[in-house]
Amino acid sequence: MSPDPVFELPAQCVTPTAAPIVIDNGSFQTRAGWAAPAAEFDSPRLLFRSVAARSRGAARSETQIGNDIPNLEPLRWLLKSQFDRNVVVNFEIQELILDYVFTHLGLSSEGSVEHPILMTEAPCNPLHCRQMMSELLFECYRVPFVSYGVDGLYSFYHNNNQRNLQRPNTGIILSSGYHCSHILPVVNGRLDALNSKRVNVAGSQAASYLQRLLQLKYPGHLAAITLSRMEELLHGHSYAAVDYHEELEKWRCPEFYEREVHRIQLPFSGKVPGGCVSAEERQERRAQQLRRLQEINTRRREEKLQQDQERLDRFLAIQELLEDGLLDQFHKSLMELNMDSAEELQSYINKLQLAVEQGRLKLLQSDGGEGKMENCHNFSPLYGATPAFNMAEYHQLFVGTERLRCPEILFQPSLIGEDQMGLMETLQYVLARYTPEQQEALVSNVFLTGGNMQHPGMKERVERELLALRPFQSHFKVTMATRPGLDAWYGARDWALEHPAAAGAEGWISRQDYEEKGGEYLSEHCASNVFVPMKLAKPVPVRPAEPPAALQTLTGASAASATVTVAPAPSLSSDSADVNMAAS
Amino acid sequence: MASQIPITVRAQPPTASAAAVRGKKRPGSPAVSGVQQAAVNSSISGSKKKKPPLTVTPATQTQITAVETVVEMKTVGSVDSTPTTTETVVKAPPFKDNTFMHSGIGGAAAGKKNRTWKNLKQILALERTLPWKLNDPNYYNIDAPPSLKPAKKYSDISGLPANYTDPQTKLRFTSSEEFSYIRLLPTDVVTGYLTLRKATCIVP
């Protein structure tokens, strides 16, 4: 990835009115650019992965963002994203990303960003997250106006304009991104949020599934099978089957396999597979181990033999004592040996003599045996021929049915163990909540968007499954976005051009709105979430003595003690009593 | 109230503003200020450069802040770094307000303890406590329900429809070649395949 240039701030984006900056804040990629009518602003200026590489300790200041990182893999463990699933939770990193965006767009105004900002958010974005985002934009960057919208809806808006469909539009959007896929029904130009559904399977799950499959198939290449390479494979070499079982049957046939399998050549690594080349080494090692064991055995036998011999000698000496007639000494030694009579001594002597003889025999045998073994070993290297080893082939990955299985997890999450419904089953569930007339209207404009929908064959698959779901001979139409990954940005830009920012304009939140109605306020428009007004207690810092249980309990406590007397501050803290805080 | 707090306010104009004092800007950053924290914990450090009065600085008589600004951004020392921290390597972008601190990280009073951001689970848990009505859409309402159709079985090795399951390893397979391949697999690969399907059994 080559680093992004720092663009010059174009004059027409400042005068006569400050042009809005459109930021499509995706969990995979961030796309940012100007919303200005001229042709040069037709595409997003900045397109980069939404990651920041932050190392710990002293190097923390050298954070690299997006395209500043030439290669993601060495820094994989340092990469952090502001997202948790499809929702922004880490606003420090969001701040870093916004800094990057504004710097590279050429902004240099002091103390504030003077352009209205249009950002995308998740469908049914939690209020806390919107509050934090608004706080970041209004307090830190002092933007004049902010607008939030859903990326799938912007894409829908853009494509409907392109197709000159009459407004207000009705349709159902299947949007599949990096972390989640959504089903968003749009009725008369507004999102029907209550009937929307989200399936937690999308691009990132497909990439990690592919990675695990290949790592298990090729355990020797564990480190070489990286997520970046998997994403390449997914984007370039995978496809969605129109009929999954039929397609799998095709893969059974060896000719089909030979034609369709994709051989991926990994870069050379010095690693040698454990076992192929060093057959001789293995034999050598085995021989060595055997020899060692035998040596130990013989040594042990020798020692035992020696001990027995010594004991035998002692006993014999004592017997001689008896024969010589030194009875007293004889009895004394017998007592020392803990024996009672001469017969016992004799039996011990006999046993020992037997044992000594056997030991000697065994030693002789093993010596002879060892000699034989060594002869054997000398022969084997002559006869053993190592098979011809192809280093290039060893570093090849054969990607066959995996090409088909990974996009399939969107339709059958049970492949990865998720028990949620797949995309089409969820669509059926959503449609069932409408009357048949509404269903007809919705299904006549099925719209596919999102980066994960770019697999070849997705549209045909959706059409085939929809045919199975809908009543006999009913009509439906499926459209794919013209640029599934980028259309959200284009749609947002179109919307911004058609709805210029002004105080009180539909869809725009002004600084005053933010201060009066709080950070979680949303101004609804045709491509936005539904706003359910709910007073979120604004976190107010409390005296340090108070132990913070939760943010909201903090404000509760502080509100109770009426510390806040800031005049234009939203009187949210006093309203916090309304909020049902279970924690307090 | 204010008197209880040992404040070391440094001549700030008592401009009341909407912004409340936020928590630390970056954990461990010398940009952290919040004088009440300085009083409470010695974790605040860093060379602080005072910027001319900023409108955002909230300084009501009850609020504590003498928000010190630092030409900040990228210099971060450890939390307990000495006041002689390095000056900024990278100059802060001009278009932002340098006194800004997120309120999200546990609040000013949290000090060292609540420095991490809430993750999605915690945010959703907080959301659940709000007074939603039955028909309000929110993030966890729109989760798709569990599937009503029985899951189809596919081979763990090749992905083809599987009719058989190995009783020893519990892996699914389609043919005898696959079966012999399964029987030769090391245990970690077997566990890997089962984990992919979320079929690993905790009870042996």
State pLDDT tens for residues A117-151: 999 999 999 999 999 999 999 988 999 999 999 99
Hey, which residues 75-94 in chain A have their CB within 8 Å of chain B?
84-85, 87, 89-92
Average pLDDT over residues A250-257: 92
Q: Does B197 sit within 8 Å of A89, measured CB to CB? A: no
User: Within an 8 Å CB–CB cutoff, is residue A401 touching chain B?
Assistant: yes
Which residues in A lie closer than 8 A to residue B106 (C-beta atoms)? 548, 551
| Farthest CA pair distance, chain B | 83
Minimum-distance CB partner of A140 among B61, B96, B132: B96
Share of chain B above pLDDT 90, in %: 29
Tokens of residue A99, six digits: 């800094």
* Predicted confidence band of residue A324 (pLDDT cuts 50, 70, 90): confident
Q: Distance between CA atoms of B180 and B171, rounded to whole angstroms?
A: 12
User: Within an 8 Å CB–CB cutoff, is residue A505 touching chain B?
Assistant: no
Q: Does A536 sit within 8 Å of B196, measured CB to CB? A: no
- Contact by Cβ (8 Å): A27, A88: no
Tokens of residue A58, six digits: 């002293």
Mean pLDDT of chain A: 84
Q: Distance between CA atoms of A545 and A542, rounded to whole angstroms?
A: 8
Q: What is the pLDDT of residues B122-180, one digit of tens each?
A: 899 988 888 888 888 888 889 999 999 999 999 999 999 999 999 999 999 999 999 99
pLDDT of residue A273: 66
pLDDT above 50: residue B4: no
pLDDT of residue B91: 64
pLDDT of residue A549: 38
Q: Distance between CA atoms of A148 and A119, rounded to whole angstroms?
A: 5
Q: Distance between CA atoms of B57 and B2, rounded to whole angstroms?
A: 17
Query: In the 8-state DSSP scheme, what is residue A420?
Result: B
Average pLDDT over residues A60-67: 84
Q: Does B102 sit within 8 Å of A567, measured CB to CB? A: no
- 10 Å Cβ neighbour count for B88? 18
- Nearest one of B69, B24, B74 to A61, comparing CA atoms: B74
The secondary structure of chain A in percent helix, strand, coil, rounded to multiples of 5, reads 50, 10, 40
Which residues in B lie closer than 8 A to residue A528 (C-beta atoms)? none
Q: Does A111 sit within 8 Å of B64, measured CB to CB? A: no
User: Within an 8 Å CB–CB cutoff, is residue A110 touching chain B?
Assistant: yes
- Alpha-carbon distance A548 to nearest alpha carbon in chain B (angstroms): 6
Q: Distance between CA atoms of A242 and A203, rounded to whole angstroms?
A: 19
Nearest CA in chain A to B101: A140
pLDDT of residue A35: 92
The secondary structure of chain B in percent helix, strand, coil, rounded to multiples of 5, reads 20, 5, 75
Domain regions of chain B by residue span = 152-203
- Contact by Cβ (8 Å): B109, A386: no
Nearest CA in chain B to A544: B109
Which residues in A lie closer than 8 A to residue B120 (C-beta atoms)? 84-85, 87, 89
**Which of A104-113, A357-366, A387-396, A568-577 comes out lowest in average pLDDT?**
A568-577
Q: Beta strand pairing status for A446-449 and A171-176?
A: parallel
pLDDT above 80: residue B105: no
Give the best residue of A55, A56, A60, A200 to mutate against chain B (max B CB count within 10 A).
Answer: A60
The runs of H, that is alpha helices, within A400-457 are 402-408, 423-431, 436-443
- Is the link from the previous residue into A16 a cis peptide, with omega within 30 of 0? yes
Tokens of residue A201, six digits: 């399977």
3-class secondary-structure state, position A432: coil
pLDDT of residue A540: 52
Tokens of residue A303, six digits: 């020692």
Q: Distance between CA atoms of A426 and A413, rounded to whole angstroms?
A: 12
- Residue A183 burial (C-beta neighbours within 10 Å; 0-12, 13-18, 19+): buried
Average pLDDT over residues A150-169: 92
What is the helix (H) or strand (E) element at residue A171, kind and residue range?
strand A171-176
User: Within an 8 Å CB–CB cutoff, is residue A103 touching chain B?
Assistant: yes
- Contact by Cβ (8 Å): A509, A492: no
Kindly list the strands in the beta sheet with A64-65, ordered across the sheet, starting from the edge strand earlier in the chain.
A64-65, A52-53, A79-80
* Predicted confidence band of residue A38 (pLDDT cuts 50, 70, 90): confident
Q: Does A194 sit within 8 Å of B147, measured CB to CB? A: no
Q: How far is CA A483 from the centre of its chain?
A: 25
Measured between alpha carbons, how far apart are the two ends of chain A, in Å?
Answer: 49
A-B CB pairs within 8 A amount to 285
Going from the C-alpha of B110 to that of each of A89, A486, B1, B127, the distances in angstroms are 18, 41, 18, 21
Residue A445: which residues within 8 A CB-CB, separation 6 or more? A165, A169, A170, A171, A172, A477, A479
Q: Does B124 sit within 8 Å of A554, measured CB to CB? A: no
pLDDT of residue B38: 40
Q: Distance between CA atoms of A367 and A363, rounded to whole angstroms?
A: 6
pLDDT of residue A274: 60
pLDDT of residue B94: 78
Which residues in A lie closer than 8 A to residue B139 (C-beta atoms)? 87, 122, 124-126
Could you report the predicted ipTM of this complex, rounded to two decimals?
0.70
- Alpha-carbon distance A61 to nearest alpha carbon in chain B (angstroms): 4
User: A398 - beta bridge partners?
Assistant: A263
Q: Does A544 sit within 8 Å of B192, measured CB to CB? A: no
Q: What is the pLDDT of residues A192-250, one digit of tens each?
A: 999 999 999 999 999 999 999 999 999 989 989 999 999 999 999 999 999 999 999 99
* Predicted confidence band of residue B65 (pLDDT cuts 50, 70, 90): very low
pLDDT of residue A558: 39
- Nearest one of B105, B135, B130 to B117, comparing CA atoms: B105
Q: Distance between CA atoms of A49 and A47, rounded to whole angstroms?
A: 7
Q: Does A401 sit within 8 Å of B136, measured CB to CB? A: no
User: Within an 8 Å CB–CB cutoff, is residue A551 touching chain B?
Assistant: yes
**Which of A162-176, A186-200, A424-438, B92-106 comes out lowest in average pLDDT?**
B92-106
pLDDT above 70: residue A458: yes
Q: Distance between CA atoms of B111 and B42, rounded to whole angstroms?
A: 10
Q: Does B95 sit within 8 Å of A113, measured CB to CB? A: yes
Q: How far is CA A108 from the centre of its chain?
A: 36
E-assigned strands of chain B? 164-165, 172-173
Nearest CA in chain A to B189: A216
Q: Beta strand pairing status for A446-449 and A478-480?
A: parallel
Which residues in B lie closer than 8 A to residue A552 (C-beta atoms)? 126
Give the best residue of A93, A414, A529, A571 to mutate against chain B (max B CB count within 10 A).
Answer: A414
pLDDT above 80: residue A382: no
Which residues in A lie closer than 8 A to residue B71 (C-beta atoms)? none
Share of chain A above pLDDT 90, in %: 53
This prediction's pTM = 0.70
User: Within an 8 Å CB–CB cutoff, is residue A198 touching chain B?
Assistant: yes
